[in-house]
Structure 1
């Protein structure tokens, strides 16, 4: 009886070891879960903060640059050239992206340029034609997220929508003819003088807007194409065209 009792009394202790192992395992999993959740929250906060902060800095920088450009336009000794590359080309207005939407346009599409919260005119592989040129493609790029996110709502622009470029002396009014929802980021044909997939078949006076897609990625590119419909001279009051007064 004694041996049997000893065996019976040993069994509960022996059966308790797996329970302790399970408890330790559950504790470890719980700690790991908390660490992962905390890391995820920190990462999400960092990404959100980074996007917000770069937007804030870029907006401030582009606003100051835009003010400087307008000052050069109104200065008594305004330069005879259409624009000063160091200051900017003009301003892009796209009502479909907001009633008062405007963005400063500068030459170049490098990060150093686009991170200023501007739209950049392509310099390569094709040199963007200026709006006042007799023909060509005024091809522009801007960030969709972060650094001002000036083309964040480019997907809201559709066929028939107006696009207006404001320079010192003229308003250039374009009409959107076609859009491309997605293409390879290596597809340079979308910014060619006669943009591929745009439907245009001969030289003209075109505008192209490009940005990354989907949102928060840079995997693909999207494009919006328009053609010039008219040029309005700038009056002393800088009265915007009807497309911007609706």
Structure 2
């Protein structure tokens, strides 16, 4: 058995990789973005159809609480389902390695040949990796599972709930201090500014272009608030 020379090959975990942030970063960005936009849209819709400041604040606060809890539950269920699927794949690969190791070795060799290695070299690599850790090799190269960003349901739920509440607090606070006759305008300006900043920060954390990310969330935010404001005004006139 040929043992790997660990000091000669840098570990993938010794360098900072932005993809390792994908789990919590996705939950944080989505939670904050939803908190800002859904609460702002709710406030704008209620404000367009109501002349009662207390009603507007109550609707915004209810949206904050309900949205945070909903995001937490949704993220937990979603990420738990992902974790269940990954565990099922792991168990299936483990069974296949125990019951049919020759076929699994041939499968791993074929994967490396398809990626560009010569057949002899691909077989040698497959044998060496199988001797070191066959299950990890198959999970990584056959299925695409790595340990850079494992699913963490509780982390995703907590991050989503907290960031949703933090995001929702922005339009809620603005609606609290804004004059009643211009609540929609104040909330719209604050929301678009917050969405643009959030988009840029999320892009920076993920190593993506900031301008494009900020513009994307601003456009979608403006559209969402325009639609809910129009609906709120129509419903307010009807009732």
Mark yes or no: TM-score above 0.5.
Answer: no
**Structure ranking higher in strand proportion:** 1
Q: TM-score with structure 1 length normalisation?
A: 0.28
Q: TM-score with structure 2 length normalisation?
A: 0.29
Which fold has the larger relative contact order, with Cα–Cα distance below 8 Å and residues 6 or more apart in sequence?
2
